[in-house]
Amino acid sequence: MRTKRTIRYRSSRKICGYPLLVISFGPDKATDESRGIAAGIIAIGDISIGVIAIGGLSAGIFSVGGLSTGLIAVGGVAMGGLVLGGVAVGVMAFGGVAIGLAAWGGVAIGHFAAGGKAVGTYIMTETQKDPQAVDFFNRWLPWISR
């Protein structure tokens, strides 16, 4: 049976009482963690929470992970403000399936939606171009209209 590798690092430098960098992967018998939980300004781990969070499950202002949530989030499933993911749910969402106030993707659902299959108040597809959607995407995301 293969043992999972454990990695733990916590910087001594702190900002507002939080460590600047925390890296945490794998199980830790000393703390009875089955997964590495990293919480700090920059957090990298199986589960990460920080201003910048990178991990399998991540939450932060800037978040990257398999399941990611944040003001700016990138991931397989991403949720938040400005999001990019296989499944993206947010204010402005980009992805294979994108759901948001403004959405762009293979399947896009939103008030303003653009993509292969778009559902929303104002949509932009190859066959249908609502003027409001064209104006919105030209103003905020000009490369989409091209």
pLDDT tens per residue across span 93-145: 999 999 999 999 999 999 999 999 999 999 999 999 999 999 999 998 887 66
The answer, yes or no, to whether residue 32 has pLDDT greater than 80, is no
Residue 27 pLDDT class (50, 70, 90 cuts) = confident
Is residue 60 within 8 A of residue 72, CB to CB? The reply is no
What is the CB neighbour count within 10 angstroms for residue 63? 30
CA distance 63 to 36: 17
What is the CA 25 to chain-centroid distance, rounded? Answer: 20
CA distance 103 to 115: 8
pLDDT tens per residue across span 36-83: 899 999 999 999 999 999 999 999 999 999 999 999 999 999 999 999
The answer, yes or no, to whether residue 31 has pLDDT greater than 60, is yes
